[in-house]
Amino acid sequence: MASVIASFSQELAAAAEQSGSSVVAIHARHRVPSSGIHWRKGVLVTANHAVRREDDITVLVHGGKRVSAKLAGRDAGTDLALLKFDQDAGVAIPQFGDAANLKLANFVLALGRTRFGNLVASAGIIGGLGGEWRTWRGGRIEQSIRLDLALYPGFSGGPLVNGEGKVLGLNTNGFGRGRAVTIPVATVNRVVDELLDKGYIARPYLGIAMQPVAVPEALRSKLKSSAAGGLMVLHVEPGGPADKAGIVLGDVIVELQGKPALDTEYIQDLLASAKVNEKIRTTVIRGGSPLELSITLGERPAK
């Protein structure tokens, strides 16, 4: 038994060493730095919530060398930020694994670096797995990976590593509720591609504020879906997608893409899977009669 434990211990140490040279400490906020990963040549990724300033960002790399970095893009929706730095700083790019092959209770390591540049680790298991999900900020995450391990201060932005030393994703506790989760490699790659291209993530929007209301029974028979409720328009953004489509204050949106629009959660789900410039078939009640409109989704202004 002792030899088995010793062998397992050595395998974990080797896995941490293999991926550890790609892990950096990023000083972009007061006192506690975040961790980061050299994802592509000259490109670092870290947790967006830990990047509090956009200038004077320093990075402590493997071996204790300090280099400067510039913010190249960020996305609060997926809690990812992208930095560019001197690609000749001697930081390795890790091997990546496929998080889709993870199983519940697989043993994993979370890696990070301290403010002094020391590599640190936290061990645990995969506490939960699921399919695609959407964060409360609207970001789409391809796979739900919940961790049963401690993400200590400064660990956010560091990698989740399997027993083979391959990076499965980026760890963060930035979504609140004390949850340690991993953003899988597939999501990070998608976001990095768009951030390198635009500096932000393009997300569609309608440009209206709404609240749920009941639809009078006499009107339900006039609707294809016989919807019992809808969303009353309380505000229309001037020049926004809904305004351009002819939506006005007081309209009650009852159907989108042929399905009942009963609450704002349905709107959020629809927008999460939709694309900019996509046309949305919309039915509203105006003056007691249904009216068919088409809204072309616009790109939400970058903040």
**Active site residues per annotation:** 49, 79, 156
Of 144, 150, 154, 136, give the one whose Cα is nearest residue 50: 154
Of 90, 261, 266, give the one whose Cα is nearest residue 251: 261
Which two three-digit tokens encode residue 156? 């956010």
Of 223, 18, 268, 252, give the one whose Cα is nearest residue 119: 18
Tell how strand 57-60 and strand 119-130 pair up: unpaired
Which two three-digit tokens encode residue 26? 């990023």
Report how far Cα 58 is from the mean position of its chain's Cα atoms. Answer: 24
Taking the C-alpha atoms of residue 50 and residue 175, their distance in angstroms, rounded to an integer, is 12
SS (H, E, C) 146-184: EEECCCCCCCCCCEEECCCCCEEEEEECCCCCCCCEEEE
How many beta carbons lie within 10 A of that of residue 130, not counting itself? Answer: 10
Of 125, 123, 124, give the one whose Cα is nearest residue 106: 125
Taking the C-alpha atoms of residue 294 and residue 97, their distance in angstroms, rounded to an integer, is 43
Which two three-digit tokens encode residue 67? 């280099």
